[in-house]
């Protein structure tokens, strides 16, 4: 149900933006960029919905810890 709501939300956003995309002089490129950003949002939503253990904060904390060993995260 939540995923359906997500799909509907992105569908509505796309419909709002569609007139502007069609007005753009480089429609093809605009659609590709739009789909990439929307896909990133959808993937992030799905990962968050299924409680995927790796999130950006954990990745950033791990990188910082790896580069600066003295840093301690609780």
Partner 1 sequence: MRLSVDAPTATPGSEVKISPVQLSFLLTGFLFGSSAILNPATAARQDAWLAFLLGWAGGVLLIGIYIAITRLNPGKTLVDILIACFGKILGTAFSLLYIWYFIHLAALIIRNFGEYMTTMNYPKTPLLFLAITLVSVSAYSVRKGLETTGRTSEIFIPFLPLSVIFLFFFVYREFNPANFLPVLENGLKPVVNTGLIIVTFPFGQSVVFLTLFANLSDRKKLTGSVIVSVLIVGIMLLAILARDIMALGPDILERALYAPDITSRLVTYLTIYPVISVSFLIGGGTRTAICIYGAATSIARIAKLDNYVPLVMPISALAVTLSIWVFETVLEMFEFAKEAWFYYSLPFQVIIPVLVLIISFIKRSPNTQKPKR
Residues that bind partner 1 (CB under 8 A): 9-10, 13, 16-17, 20-21, 23-26, 29-30, 32-34, 37-38, 40-41, 44-45, 47-48, 55-57, 60-61, 64, 67-68, 71-74
CB of 34 to partner 1, least distance (A): 6
Helices 2-23, 27-49: crossing angle, 10 deg rounding: 170
Q: Is 26 helix (H, G, I), strand (E, B) or coil?
A: coil
Are 30 and 24 contacting, i.e. CB atoms less than 8 angstroms apart?
yes
Identify which of residues 1 and 57 has a Cβ nearer to partner 1 in the complex: 57
């Amino acid at each position: 149900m939540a995923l359906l709501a997500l799909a509907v939300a992105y569908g509505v956003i796309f419909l709002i933006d569609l007139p502007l995309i069609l007005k753009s002089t480089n429609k093809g490129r605009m659609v590709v960029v739009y789909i990439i950003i929307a896909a990133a949002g959808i993937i992030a939503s799905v990962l968050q919905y299924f409680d995927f253990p790796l999130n950006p904060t954990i990745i950033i904390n791990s990188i910082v810890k790896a580069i600066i060993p003295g840093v301690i995260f609780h």
